[in-house]
């Protein structure tokens, strides 16, 4: 890891640059800096990328922050207001209640927020997990504050046991096929996402669909999640389940007929972020409950992106057999520094995931292929 990351995070934190811009888009700069640090980028390249990012971000008191001002008396959970009041609250908690122990802070406070981690296209989750990977208390506080600010809880009308997560009767691919064929759920999502209670929040089309699904059809998403059968090896430990879910998110991204889908990519980086967070949890019941909610949200992401067909023939490519991790790192750092920050994050996650399981050549080729996809193809954001 390079030694410039903490200084750059301090210079470009939310005390200077607001957590959102252009009304509802999320500030990714901290994630990009951490990903570039993990890729061993040099500071000159990073400085150029930061200058590019600054052209679109808003300052602390810019128009989006001004619109989202809140007051001390409001219940700000999920209201997308009062970010700096919330941030001060979490900073005080870390300092005074947890004596700056980041592990205890995450265990207690993330557990209160995980049901709403699908809000703002999973950015609060991503911000928190990336901050924890850097052991940055400041970035973790920002991430938890953004989770609080943008919380969109997965709503259950009845309790669902998470103790048997991964012990269903269908492969994940079969469950995705069932979701693709569920015309009633898709039609509900499309219809409800156009209702006034959704549109008045001023979000984008993807977030509107997710809001409709997690708020009104949470039970169905969890039911689908509980149908999934994970590999026997993954079921042996909670960390095994978490790793399998990360690998599955990469498989979904790479095999999607929509090449380099922006929100399926988010699913990958969010799952990597969550895997960092879960490392500080010890209670099996808590870990399984969080993983169940995350899998349910990822299934919602898949449907909200129109449930693309999956093509196992592109699980890897000819390039992925011969190319090395160093080759891919050199490729991504030879891109113009104006490159979209999601590319750096996807490549970083894929390289680290492949290296962590260097004994699994099939997974290694998948990870290398997904990294190459992120580098070579434009991000697909629009559904049109």
Give residue-wise pLDDT tens across range 151-167. Answer: 999 998 877 788 899 99
Residues 305 and 171 in one domain: yes
Determine the pLDDT at residue 254.
97
Are residues 130 and 165 located together in one domain of the fold? no
| Regions of the chain short of the pLDDT cut 50 | none
d(CA 52, CA 315): 33
25 sits in which H/E element: strand 25-26
Q: Which of 130, 150, 170 is the last residue of a domain?
A: 150
Instruction: Specify the number of domains making up the chain.
Output: 2
CA atoms lying within 13 Å on the CB side of residue 182: 23
Domain that holds residue 18: 5-150
- What is the C-alpha separation between 378 and 245, in angstroms, rounded? 25
**Percent of the chain beyond pLDDT 90?**
91
Give yes or no: residues 198 and 112 share one domain: no
Same domain, yes or no: 79 and 94 = yes
184 and 311 fall within a common domain:
yes
Convert the pLDDT of each residue in 367-382 to its tens digit.
999 999 999 999 999 8
Q: Quickly tell me which residue has 């949890």 as its tokens.
A: 281
3-class secondary structure, 167: strand
Identify whether residues 19 and 164 lie together within a single domain: no
Q: What is the tens place of the pLDDT at every residue in 33-56?
A: 999 999 999 999 999 999 999 999
CA angle 17/20/26 to nearest 5° reads: 115
The three-state secondary structure class of 339 is coil
Written as one string, the DSSP assignment of 230-259 is --TTGGG-HHHHHHHHHHHHHHHHHHBSST
| pLDDT in the model for residue 314 | 87
Q: What pLDDT is stored for residue 384 in this prediction?
A: 60
* pLDDT of the residue at 356: 86
DSSP state of 20: E
Can you tell me whether residue 267 is helix, strand or coil? helix
Together in a domain, 187 and 122: no
* 90 shares its domain with 192: no
| 33: Cα separation from own chain's centroid | 16
The span from the CA of 39 to the CA of 330, in Å, is 9
Stated pTM of the model: 0.97
Give yes or no: residues 135 and 168 share one domain: no
Pair (223, 341) in one structural domain: yes
**pLDDT tens per residue across span 116-172:** 999 999 999 999 999 999 999 999 999 999 999 999 999 988 777 888 999 999 999
Residues 331 and 206 occupy one common structural domain: yes
Q: Specify the DSSP class assigned to residue 153.
A: P
User: Are residues 200 and 179 both part of a single domain?
Assistant: yes
Cα distance between residue 349 and residue 33, in whole Å: 14
């Amino acid at each position: 890891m390079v030694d410039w990351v903490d200084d750059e995070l301090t210079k470009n934190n939310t005390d200077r640059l607001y957590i959102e811009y252009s009304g509802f888009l999320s500030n990714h700069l901290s994630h990009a800096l951490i990903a570039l640090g993990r890729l061993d980028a040099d500071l000159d390249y990073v400085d150029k990328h930061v200058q590019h990012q600054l052209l679109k971000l808003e300052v602390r008191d810019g128009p989006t922050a001004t619109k989202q001002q809140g007051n001390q008396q409001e219940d700000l959970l999920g209201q997308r207001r009062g970010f700096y009041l919330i941030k001060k609250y979490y900073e005080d908690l870390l300092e005074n209640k947890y004596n700056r122990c980041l592990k205890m802070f995450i265990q207690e406070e993330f557990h209160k927020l995980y049901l709403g981690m699908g809000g703002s296209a999973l950015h609060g989750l991503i911000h928190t997990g990336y901050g924890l990977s850097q052991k940055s208390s400041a970035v973790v506080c920002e991430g938890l504050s953004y989770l609080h600010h943008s919380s969109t809880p997965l709503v259950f009308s009845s309790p669902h046991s998470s103790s048997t997560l991964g012990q269903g009767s269908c492969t994940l691919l079969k469950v995705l096929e069932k979701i693709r064929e569920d015309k009633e759920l898709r039609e509900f999502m499309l219809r409800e996402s156009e209702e006034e209670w959704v549109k008045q929040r001023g979000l984008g089309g993807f977030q509107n669909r997710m809001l409709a699904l997690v708020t009104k059809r949470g039970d169905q998403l969890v039911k689908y999640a509980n149908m999934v059968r994970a590999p026997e090896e993954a079921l042996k430990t909670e960390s095994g389940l978490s790793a399998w879910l990360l690998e599955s998110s990469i498989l979904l991204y790479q095999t999607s007929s929509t090449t380099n889908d922006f929100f399926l990519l988010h699913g990958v980086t969010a799952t990597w972020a969550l895997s960092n967070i879960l490392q500080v949890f010890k209670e099996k019941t808590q870990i399984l409950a969080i993983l169940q909610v995350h899998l349910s949200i990822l299934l919602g992401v898949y449907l909200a992106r129109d449930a693309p067909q999956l093509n196992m023939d592109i699980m890897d490519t000819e390039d992925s057999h011969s190319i090395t991790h160093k080759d891919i790192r050199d490729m991504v750092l030879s891109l113009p520094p104006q490159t979209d920050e999601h590319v750096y994050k996807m490549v970083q996650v894929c390289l680290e995931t492949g290296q962590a399981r260097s004994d699994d050549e099939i997974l290694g080729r998948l990870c290398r292929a997904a990294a190459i996809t992120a580098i070579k193809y434009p991000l697909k954001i629009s559904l049109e």
